[in-house]
Amino acid sequence: MGSLAAVLRHPDDLYPLLKLKMASRQAEKQIPPEPHWAFCYSMLHKVSRSFALVIQQLGTDLRNAVCIFYLVLRALDTVEDDTSIPTDVKVPILIAFHRHVYDREWHFSCGTKEYKVLMDQFHHVSTAFLELGKGYQDAIEDITKRMGAGMAKFICKEVESIDDYDEYCYYVAGLVGLGLSKLFYASGTEDLAPDSLSNSMGLFLQKTNIIRDYLEDINEIPKCRMFWPREIWSKYVNKLEDLKYEENSDKAVQCLNDMVTNALMHVEDCLKYMSALRDNAIFRFCAIPQIMAIGTLALCYNNIEVFRGVVKMRRGLTAKVIDRTNNMTDVYLAFYDFSNILKPKINKNDPNATKTLSRVEAIQKACMDSGVLNKRKSYIIQSELRYSSTMIVIFFIILAIIFSYLSSTRASK
Ligand code: D61
Ligand code: MG
């Protein structure tokens, strides 16, 4: 029902949503016949809707490598995230995981729902991994080894300073960026990007997740998950979980705005990384998650709902982002538009208002300096008017068809 109401409120979401539905149907039809590859691609769709679609549009060779890279790291992360596993069992597995990928007999059951299925049938991922080219295998093993070691370090260490926070995000997401840049290079379509830019691509996505998932993480059972750095939250409250209590709302929103301002630091590096990409499929694969992230940060900024539930971009807007991101002009427009949504929310009494404003203006300047903005009006609200009238008409035609179909089936019964 919620989504119907959302479409009525945003009729121009309908067409992109239909296209998204068709694309995911199409993607499911392309699942390879071999049982291990069939398992890998159906699992990819189950554990990551957002990445599955953008991975699907990559060229075959690279698609298989990125699919396995994703599932290997998602399995490693399932061990890290399962707070019911004792530390003395978890740490050795995280450190040795890069070797287990080669061993089709290896098995460790943990996680819940689809993540548990991924762990229980991980031998399929090993079989597929062993079929990849040596260059791809080496890149995936190297990153898995470094991420496992980094995760193990932070099992027993709290995220205290902002440097700790950047270091943790480097291990669980920056290294994914470095690994993907290696895979893109190994596929022969892209130059090898500088590690600093690849790292920023990961940090921007991971920090957005950590900010958005505050409540889910702090309420995790049996043990809460804490990734916000003490160096930031201790300026507002005495304990991280205090941010979720009604009486601390003002302090909580100030702390949230401080976290969002910190994440905005990585945007210019991400724009540099994306503007250097040549292959359009790789470009869309990299750009779509980035636009989702700036959209989510604009939504979270100054928003108390982050401490009441998980704030997410509506599915229609996600479908629009996937439908409208084809070149760097779209990226500059999107970052400019979403910054424009965040900017008016900056309240001058917020302790970080000056810093936030200067970061937002730096982002808008980077987008303006691209010289492409004046040609096009906007990314998010593209001629709402033209869309809305057409959409309403189509909407009622579809409704009429469904209605007549239902009434005809009822009449024939
Ligand atoms: C270009 C395109 C995609 C990129 C990129 C550059 C740079 C980095 C990333 C994607 C990774 C972004 C991670 C953001 C989401 N955070 C998580 O998934 C956390 O787990 C991190 C450890 C496992 C990483 C798994 C992963 C994710 C995306 C990939 C990939 C591997 C491989 C290829 C392509 C994309 C988060 O997990 C949330 C959850 O459990 O659902 C956590 O536990 O903190
Ligand atoms: Mg994790």
Instruction: Please report which confidence band the pLDDT of residue 388 belongs to, taking 50, 70 and 90 as the band edges.
Output: low
Name which residue leads in pLDDT, 52 or 242.
242
For the chain, the average pLDDT equals 92
CA 65 to ligand 2 center in whole angstroms: 21
To the query of whether residue 122 is one of the catalytic residues in this protein, the response is no
pLDDT value at position 222?
86
Lowest model confidence (mean pLDDT) among 25-29, 132-136, 237-241, 300-304:
25-29
Q: Distance between CA atoms of 7 and 10, rounded to whole angstroms?
A: 5
Which residue among the candidates 184, 285, 338, 379 is catalytic per the annotation? 285
Q: Distance between CA atoms of 364 and 357, rounded to whole angstroms?
A: 10
pLDDT value at position 20?
85
Q: Which of 301, 374, 305 is nearest to 336 (CA)?
A: 374
Which residue among the candidates 104, 225, 230, 314 is catalytic per the annotation? 225
| Residue 374 Cα distances to 57, 333, 361, 368, angstroms | 30, 10, 17, 8
pLDDT value at position 14?
84
Q: Which of 327, 309, 303, 322 is nearest to 375 (CA)?
A: 327
Q: What are 296's two structure tokens?
A: 């989510």
Give yes or no for residue 409 having a pLDDT over 90. no
Residue pointed to by tokens 């949230």 = 256
DSSP-assigned letter for residue 193: P
pLDDT value at position 2?
62
Q: How many CB atoms neighbour CB 209 within 10 A?
A: 15
- 367-378 per-residue burial string, b: 16 or more CB within 10 A, e: under 16: beebebbeeeee
Residue pointed to by tokens 């709902």 = 305
Name which residue leads in pLDDT, 256 or 17.
256
Ligand 1 pocket check for 140: Cβ under 6 Å: no
Q: Which of 156, 163, 162, 304 is nearest to 233 (CA)?
A: 162
Give yes or no for residue 394 having a pLDDT over 80. no
Instruction: Please report which confidence band the pLDDT of residue 118 belongs to, taking 50, 70 and 90 as the band edges.
Output: very high
pLDDT value at position 144?
98
Task: List, in sequence order, every beta strand (DSSP E) within 54-177.
Answer: none
Average pLDDT in the 217-222 region?
Answer: 92
Most confident of 11-15, 349-353, 389-393: 349-353
H or E segment and range at residue 185: helix 175-186
Q: Which one of 205, 214, 277, 282 would you pick to mutate in the ligand 1 pocket, going by the greatest count of ligand atoms within 8 A of its CB?
A: 205
Lowest model confidence (mean pLDDT) among 78-92, 201-215, 368-382, 393-407:
368-382
3-class state of residue 21 by DSSP: helix
Q: What are 195's two structure tokens?
A: 């590690």
Q: Distance between CA atoms of 391 and 273, rounded to whole angstroms?
A: 36
| Residue 92 Cα distances to 50, 98, 188, 219, 305, angstroms | 31, 11, 36, 26, 38
CA 73 to ligand 2 center in whole angstroms: 10
Name which residue leads in pLDDT, 237 or 384.
237
Ligand closest to Cα of 81 equals: 2
Q: Which of 223, 221, 231, 291 is nearest to 262 (CA)?
A: 231
113: left (phi over 0), alpha (psi -120 to 50) or beta: left
Q: What are 209's two structure tokens?
A: 């997740």
pLDDT value at position 357?
98
Q: Which one of 44, 63, 72, 74 would you pick to mutate in the ligand 1 pocket, going by the greatest count of ligand atoms within 8 A of its CB?
A: 74
The residues whose Cβ lies within 5 A of ligand 2, an ion, are 77, 80-81
DSSP-assigned letter for residue 174: I
Q: What are 167's two structure tokens?
A: 């270091």
How do residues 141-157 score in pLDDT, each as one tens digit? 999 999 999 999 999 99
Instruction: Please report which confidence band the pLDDT of residue 340 belongs to, taking 50, 70 and 90 as the band edges.
Output: very high
What's the angle, vertex CA 54, arms to CA 185 and CA 96, rounded to 5? Answer: 60
